[in-house]
Amino acid sequence: MKSNTEYRKSALSSLKGRWTKAAIVSLIFLTIINLSSLVDFLAFQSTTTGFIESFNSLYTVFVILPAAFALIVVYLRMIRKPGTDIIRSFFTHFVSNYGRALLSMLLLAIICTCLGIAGITVSIALASIPFSLLDIPFSWTSITELHSIYGLVQIFKSVNLLLYAVVIGFFFMLTLIPMLMYIYKICLFPFIIEDNPDVGIRDAYHLSKVMIKGRRMRLFLLDLSFIGWYLLSLLTLGIALLWVIPYQLTARAHFYNDLKEEYDKSQYLSLE
C-alpha cells in the first residue's frame, strides 16, 4: 500500500478540476446538519419542546445518516469513474441506496453511541475509586443551576468537584483508545455496503473487520494527518471545511480502494 503522503497526493489529483462541485456537496451536507441545529434552537425557544426534539431525532436518523453515507461513498465513485458528476451522484446515492444506507449508518451510530456511553460510565466509575479511598467529599447541589452562568461558576467553586471532573476526563482519554481501535475496525463498513449490494449488513460488518486487520493504525495516521486542516477550518469559521471534507474522504476512498485490491488478490491466491 502507498504512504499517507501518496494518498493525500492521489486525493489532490482526483479532485483536480472538481473542487467547486466537491465544495458544493460539502455545503449541502453541512446545511443538512445545520438544519438539525436550527431545530434544536427552536426547541429551546418553543413550548412544544417534546414534539420538536422527537422530530429532530427522526430527522437525524432518516436524513442525516443516509446523507452521511452518500457523502462517504460518492468519492469512491469519483476516483473509479473520473467523469462522475459529484453533485448528481450524491443525490443518486442518497435515494437509490437509501434502505441499506440507513441501516448501515444507523448500526454505526448505535455502536458509536454505546461505546461513548460505556466510556463515560467506566470513566466515572474509575474516577470515583480514588475519591472513595481518600474520602474526598464533593457536592452536586449546584448542578441544578447548570443552565446559568452563575450555576457553572458555583459548580467550579468546589475544588473537589473540579478535580473530580479532571480525573473523569483523564480516565475517559484512556478509555478512548480501545473505543477508537474498535471504531476503526468497522470504519470501512459504508464502502463495503456500496461495493457489495448482495452482501448483507451483518456480513459487511464482519468483512470490514477482516479487511482492515493490520491496517487500522495506517488509516488512523492518515486521518490524523488532516488535523492541521481542521484546525485551519476553525480559524476560517468552518468555511475551509467545504474543501477539507472532500480532501480527507477522497484520501480515504483511495486507501479503501488499495486495501480492497490487496484483499481481493489475497483471496484469489488462497483459492489457487
- Report whether pLDDT(145) > 60: no
79-90 mean pLDDT: 92
C-alpha cell at 235: 480559524
pLDDT in the model for residue 97: 86
- Report whether pLDDT(141) > 80: no
Q: What percent of the chain has pLDDT over 90?
A: 53
Segment (H or E) for 90: helix 86-96
Amino acid at residue number 12: L
pLDDT in the model for residue 110: 93
pLDDT in the model for residue 224: 95
Rounded Cα distance between 170 and 175, Å, is 9
What's the start-to-end Cα distance of the chain, in Å?
Answer: 23
Q: What angle do CA 72, 182, 210 make, to 5 degrees?
A: 75
Q: How confident is the model at residue 37 (pLDDT cuts 50, 70, 90)?
A: confident
Q: How confident is the model at residue 83 (pLDDT cuts 50, 70, 90)?
A: confident
- Please identify which residue in the block is written with the cell numbers 466509575: 125
Rounded Cα distance between 204 and 60, Å, is 23
142-152 mean pLDDT: 47
pLDDT in the model for residue 217: 93
Helix 4-15 / helix 216-224 crossing angle, nearest 10 deg:
60
- Report whether pLDDT(268) > 80: no
pLDDT in the model for residue 135: 62
pLDDT in the model for residue 218: 94
pLDDT in the model for residue 261: 92
**Which region among 21-25, 140-144, 159-163 has the lowest average model confidence (pLDDT)?**
140-144
Mean pLDDT, the chain, integer: 84
